[in-house]
Chains A and B, each alone.
Chain A
Amino acid sequence: MTTPRLRDSPILSLSLRALFPFLVLFSFQLFSYGANSPGGGFQAGVVFGTIVVVLDLLWDRRVYSSRFFEAVELAGLALLFGLFAAGAGRTGHPFGGFYGWTGRGLLFSNVFFWLLNLAIFLEVAGSIVLIFRHFMDLDHASDAA
């Protein structure tokens, strides 16, 4: 008799499949409004990365390719380093000089904060998934050996 596996559960599969778009939206909301409500880029990235990792485990296949997440991570890093360098070039201090870039409404009350949160979100979301997948690859390699 085989032991039932968690990934065979139709309840889990159906509920996570239904929750996926809402969790992605929730992560977008967390980083978008991070300057004005609880949340921020780091938390949003962890939420997004975690749901992808859980779906990877549940479906036993990769939801999006690792190359996609490498691109996401690189985009986050490029934005972060761009803001770092732009601030350093403008005022001599990393990230300096753009804090007064404020707008209207809650979403863009401070455009610079929104950009920082976006960069951190992209970087963390990509990293969480890639770190997990590297662990999984190592596990599969050791199983095969």
Chain B
Amino acid sequence: MRPTLLKACCAALCAGAAAFALWGAPAPEVVEHATAAGASDIAARLNIRNLVSAIYLGPRVVDTFLEVMVVTLAVIGMKFVGERR
């Protein structure tokens, strides 16, 4: 991918994320599930057995999404460094 196009894609991605964060939908209602029983309730409702998955792909799915974006940004960063050399 050409550097200019890559930069434009990154800028569009960042602008889109910022726009969504600033003017997107109102924040969802905060529901506390502080106990293991709470996590177990979520897993039962989702019909899954792994409590860890129930949390990181359930209430914390946006965290997981952003963690995956970190890996993507690392690839883009490495591409930039390689092209500069």
Q: A residues bordering B, Cβ < 8 Å?
A: 34-38, 40, 42, 73, 77, 80, 84, 88, 92-96, 99, 102, 109-110, 113, 116-117, 120, 123-124, 126-128, 130-131, 134-135, 137-138, 141
Task: State the Cβ distance, A87 to closest chain B Cβ, in Å.
Answer: 9
A138 B48 Cβ-Cβ under 8 A: no
A95 B61 Cβ-Cβ under 8 A: yes
Nearest neighbor of A129 in chain B, beta-carbon distance: B75
Q: Complex Cα distance A36/B45, Å?
A: 13
Contact of A109 among B48, B68, B78, B79 (CB under 8 A): B48
Query: How many CB-defined contacts (below 8 Å) exist between A and B?
Result: 94
For A95, list chain B residues within 8 Å (CB): 61-62, 65
The 7 closest A-B pairs by CB, nearest first: A134-B78, A92-B25, A35-B48, A102-B47, A127-B71, A36-B49, A109-B47
**Given the interface contacts A36-B48, A113-B46, A138-B82, does A131 sit within 8 Å of B65 by beta carbon?**
no
A117 B57 Cβ-Cβ under 8 A: yes
B50 A36 Cβ-Cβ under 8 A: yes
B5 at the interface (CB under 8 A from A): no
Interface bits B38-78 vs A (CB < 8 Å: 1, else 0): 00000001111110111011100110110110011011001
Some 24 contacts from A to B, beta carbons below 8 A apart, are: A34-B53, A35-B46, A73-B72, A93-B28, A94-B61, A94-B62, A95-B61, A96-B28, A99-B46, A109-B48, A110-B48, A113-B48, A117-B53, A117-B57, A120-B68, A123-B72, A124-B68, A126-B75, A127-B71, A127-B72, A130-B75, A134-B79, A135-B78, A137-B82
User: Chain B interface secondary structure, helix, strand, loop or mixed?
Assistant: helix
Q: Complex Cα distance A93/B56, Å?
A: 16
**Given the interface contacts A113-B57, A124-B68, does A131 sit within 8 Å of B74 by beta carbon?**
yes
What would 8 more interface pairs be, CB under 8 Å, given A38-B50, A42-B68? A34-B50, A92-B25, A96-B28, A102-B47, A117-B57, A123-B71, A127-B75, A131-B74
Task: State the Cβ distance, B21 to closest chain A Cβ, in Å.
Answer: 10
